Amino acid sequence: MPEAAVLVAGAGPVGLVVAHELARRGVRVRVVDAAPGPATTSRAMATHARTLELFDQIGLAERLLPLGRKVEHFSVHQRGRRLVRFDTNYDALPTRFPFSLMVDQVLTERVLREGVAGQGVDIEWSVAVAGLEQDADGVTVRLRHGHGGLETVRVPWLVGADGGRSVVRKSLGLRLSGDSTQTWLNADVVVDVDLPPNSNHLVHTGAGALLLVPFPEPGKWRVIDTVDHEGDAETVRARIEAKLTGALRKPVSVSAPTWVSVFTVQQRMIERMRVGRCFVAGDAAHVHSPASGQGMNTGLQDGINLAWKLADVVRGHATETLLDTYGAERVPIGATLLRSTRTATALVALRDTLAPVLLPLGLGVVSRVRPLKRKIEGKIVRGFCGLGLNYRDSPLSTVATGSGWQPGDRVGCTEKDVAESPGWRALLAQLRDPRWTLLHFAGPSVVPLSVPDTAVALRTVLGASSTGDHPAPLPDPDGRLHRAFGGTPGSYALIRPDGYLAARGPADTLPATLRRVGLPADPVRPGVHSDAG
């Protein structure tokens, strides 16, 4: 059997998505995990809009969506009253998934494992990284098997997705910096209470708060206690029941918890995500408060960002300098999310002694003033959904002027756009391809671009007309794609494999753009175009 080009340590959601995207691009990958088998309890539950877009792009959204519950509201309660119900406001962030999907991490991992298996990759359980050394040509990794045996393997590249206690991170001398603040408790329970399951509920109890997050199963909730965390399962059950009964001012019954976890709220990250031929991703690189559900979502986006770049390098379609953009892009994203999760943690905890007085007053005003409420709802959504994050400062993003998306922005649309625009339907289908996508906005008198189409690196998919030997164009009869990209006759837009715009501009700047991102720049044959008229 040929040796793997990449060894992935960790078969949680991050390691699985890395393996999936490498294998989808034809890279041989080996996946090991120290655990004896798949996880049976779920730490993460929320899958946010940007992550759902990426699941759709990699072909797994249709498997995941039926397993979860859509949550579109955030309600705050005190003394038997609902003070406010914040709705979602994605007006400034167009997406086909304007909600968070509450789905057990166990199920998310199962979907990813099935996807990985479909790519021909097996997961090796009870195999842990025990140490590593690297040089300019590869990484020597010592693996400890569950039966006690040791194995030494040599691989060109290593990805550490082995969690907050990452052996890979520690072996590379990388240090998580940040702080640990509060101690919280998670309990998964069935609650007999009249609360809408399409909302998260923050229940102020007087000396803190309980956060209730719905599971897909009817009546089941994850309850996060921000104050009390001592006691056995029965003590936890009785305490939650008493707190909810008192705060909601009506009888509430709570079942014995199926899972209880006490944890320290941590906000930590590393300053580098690459050391030579080794990378870290997910919890191995940053840990977040669970207050806004960022941990798994951020890790999955790390994994996809890394995988397509590493695949292009392994297959010889880009130089190793492309890999430096992984940390250049994801470290600032991690820092931004740490700031937002600190704010969310403080809001969820509600430990201010003035909160019982100020909450009804402040939220009462918010509820009555709709423009203010919509503005706050938009800010809340922007803080957790991942749609507002961009790579405008990335080395891969050029500078563009004029209307339309800027390089570094996410390419996205609404479900209404999909329903009404054949151009958007066609483009979304193209973006599920693992290659870069080049859109050429040709015109009646514009010669279609002639660029390389290597079947593994770059494909041209949009123009204004189809003539001669060119294949049938993608449609854009209403001009929606042209307006979104600021397309003019003869211009182009270059979209990265992860769905972010890398560049746009006049055709004569394309060769320099392709060289900048490490793609072939010499014409080979005509591309594939579309009809804008």
Stronger pLDDT, 288 or 248, i.e. the higher one: 248
pLDDT value at residue 318: 87
pTM over 0.75: yes
Average pLDDT (408-437) is: 92
Cβ–Cβ < 8 Å for 508, 449:
no
pLDDT value at residue 471: 46
Q: What is the mean pLDDT of the chain?
A: 86
Q: Name every residue whose Cβ is closer than 8 Å to that of residue 171 and which is 6 or more positions away in sequence.
A: 129, 131, 132
- Residue 503's Cβ-count burial label (10 Å; 0-12, 13-18, 19+) is buried
pLDDT band for position 470 (cuts 50, 70, 90): very low
Percent of the chain with pLDDT strictly greater than 90: 58
pLDDT band for position 186 (cuts 50, 70, 90): very high
User: Is the predicted pLDDT of residue 463 greater than 60, yes or no?
Assistant: no
Q: What is the pLDDT of residues 482-520, one digit of tens each?
A: 888 888 888 889 999 999 999 999 888 888 888 888 776
pLDDT value at residue 42: 81
- Nearest 5 degrees, angle CA 299-CA 43-CA 82? 105
User: Is the predicted pLDDT of residue 155 greater than 70, yes or no?
Assistant: yes
pLDDT band for position 212 (cuts 50, 70, 90): very high
What would the CATH number be for the domain defined by 6-68+103-177+267-345?
3.50.50.60
Residues of CATH 3.50.50.60 domain(s) within the chain? Answer: 6-68+103-177+267-345
pLDDT band for position 354 (cuts 50, 70, 90): very low
Q: What is the pLDDT of residues 217-276, one digit of tens each?
A: 999 999 999 889 899 999 999 999 999 999 999 999 999 999 999 887 777 888 899 999
DSSP state string for 111-143: HHHHHHHHTT--EEESEEEEEEEE-SS-EEEEE
pLDDT value at residue 520: 67
Q: What is the pLDDT of residues 67-107, one digit of tens each?
A: 999 999 999 998 999 988 999 999 999 999 999 999 999 99
pLDDT value at residue 452: 52
pLDDT value at residue 292: 65
Residues of CATH 3.40.30 domain(s) within the chain? Answer: 415-526
Alpha carbon 127 to chain centroid distance?
A: 27
Q: Which helix (H) or strand (E) holds 30?
A: strand 29-33
Q: What is the pLDDT of residues 305-330, one digit of tens each?
A: 999 999 999 998 888 999 999 999 99
- Quote the DSSP letter at residue 531: B
Q: What is the pLDDT of residues 31-70, one digit of tens each?
A: 999 999 999 888 889 999 999 999 999 999 999 999 999 9
- Residue 148's Cβ-count burial label (10 Å; 0-12, 13-18, 19+) is exposed
DSSP state string for 336-367: HHHHHHHHHHHHHH---TTHHHHHHHHHHHHH
pLDDT band for position 443 (cuts 50, 70, 90): low
Stronger pLDDT, 466 or 334, i.e. the higher one: 334
pLDDT band for position 526 (cuts 50, 70, 90): very low
pLDDT band for position 172 (cuts 50, 70, 90): very high
pLDDT value at residue 486: 87
pLDDT band for position 394 (cuts 50, 70, 90): very high
Between 282-286, 351-355, 397-401, the lowest mean confidence (pLDDT) is in: 351-355
pLDDT value at residue 148: 84
pLDDT value at residue 472: 55
Fold of 415-526: Glutaredoxin (3.40.30)
User: Is the predicted pLDDT of residue 136 greater than 80, yes or no?
Assistant: yes
Cβ–Cβ < 8 Å for 22, 310:
yes
- Residue 370's Cβ-count burial label (10 Å; 0-12, 13-18, 19+) is exposed
pLDDT band for position 121 (cuts 50, 70, 90): very high
Number of H helices, E strands in the chain: 14, 27
* Tokens, residue 30: 């080996």
